[in-house]
Structure 1
């Protein structure tokens, strides 16, 4: 997995090194991730987390640029089912069984940006999500149990659309939605799809 991550980072970096006439800009960003997960085709409760990382942008013209990022975040979903237990001849409720799916990822979004005006741009691209770990936590009356999930692919692909607004030359706000067009599960594993919204702020060094 580490070799795959290094390869994608190398490809992303080489995108910006070719043309030296137009300077690149570098920055940092962070914000909020809200993910929506489908498991067996059933939508789970949304999961909130943060994201943080770095970015590099290479202008192609006054209207177009290419941007690559390296982010850390967590995706997943939550679900609960009523728990029951047979006591004698009766079925007794013992509270809800809660499930928490956690996918910790290093993400490499690469996007093409179009500037409608100097301060406002729209973007389209692909987010390459590398799973660092995939865990399922189960909470029942017998206690909390946590284990690894081996049914998720090491590399997940998320096409996205986004927009960015520059508050100043250095500070900006942006948002994007990553679509669940591709299944996140391995072959013969439980069908799983994940889509997520990311919104936050950033700072570009000049």
Structure 2
């Protein structure tokens, strides 16, 4: 009896380990940013493209259901339309240049999702992506004292993005997946313009089995 009790933790560990898969993934990230200012039309920024890369762990609860957690690195943000920069010289207002502003925040993301397998190789997922801002910056095409480049504290340290996604497995190792992250929550600090960011991720992955 004692031997059986001693073996139970080992058997439990082996069972959990057998149900858990680890892997890596990388792909394309496209973010869309806007300022949601009450009483005004939303200011839409141009989309920002970047990559994402990281690792995952998927724990199978059954043949149909699993839980997945990931650690990814990517960038989010947007680019404004070009606008004229003016200055007053004497009694005249002159155009000194044009400027477009790009906001960028580098993030470590921790997506946590529940997955449902419609078929053995095809699944849908939904969950929350917790984005931790590592650094944020603003870049202007017209760099001057009027529009300086450098770090910005526009974004909160932690952003939350609900998402829906799908995945298809080619075999036991390779898969493709895609997700859309909704812009439900304000990503900016309290005294900054309310900022909403939604983004799409699509890429390839490899599971170690």
TM-score, length-scaled by structure 1? 0.85
Give SS of 1:140's match: coil
Counterpart of 2:98 in structure 1 is 96
What is the alpha-carbon distance in structure 1 between the residues aligned to residue 126 and residue 19 of structure 2? 22
Contact kept in structure 1, 2:131 and 2:160, CA below 8 Å: yes
- Indicate if the aligned counterparts of 1:161 and 1:176 stay in contact, CA closer than 8 A: yes
**More off after superposition, 109-118 vs 35-44:** 35-44
Q: Secondary structure in 1 aligned to 2:109? A: strand
CA shift digits 1:10-41 (9 cap, x unpaired): xxxxxxx8x72742110000001000001243
**TM-superposed deviation, 1:53:** 0.2
Farther-moved stretch of structure 1 (72-81 vs 93-102): 93-102
Aligned residues: 190
Residues 81 and 203 of structure 1, relative CA distance in 2, 3 Å threshold: same
For residues 44-98 of structure 1, what are the alpha-carbon distances to aligned partners after superposition, in whole Å with 9 as ceiling and x for unaligned? 0000000000000000111000000000000000013122334555443333211
TM-score, normalised on structure 2?
0.84
Question: Are positions 1:135 and 2:131 aligned together?
Answer: no
**Cα 1:30–1:21, aligned 2, differ >3 Å: closer, same or farther?**
closer
1:33 aligns with 2:35: no
Structure 2 vs 1, CA of residues 156 and 165 (structure 1 numbering), >3 Å: closer, same or farther?
A: same
Task: Give me the CA root mean square deviation.
Answer: 2.0
Listed one character per residue, the Cα deviations across residues 148-179 of structure 1 (whole Å, up to 9, x for unaligned) are 22231110000000000011210000000111
| Preserved CA contact (<8 Å) 2:26 2:53 | yes
Show the counterpart of 2:115: 113
Uncovered stretches (5+) of structure 2, i.e. residues with no partner: 1-12
Please give the alpha-carbon distance, in whole angstroms, between the structure 2 residues aligned to 1:141 and 1:155. 29
CA drift at 1:139:
2.1
Deviates more, 1:158-167 or 1:84-93: 84-93
SS of 2:192's equivalent in the other structure is coil
What pairs with 1:30-109 in structure 2 (closer than 5 Å)? 30-39=26-35, 40=37, 41-79=42-80, 80-109=82-111
On the 8 A contact 1:158/1:178 being kept in 2, the answer is yes
| CA distance in structure 2 between the aligned counterparts of 1:96 and 1:188, rounded to whole angstroms | 27
1:202 corresponds to 2:208: no
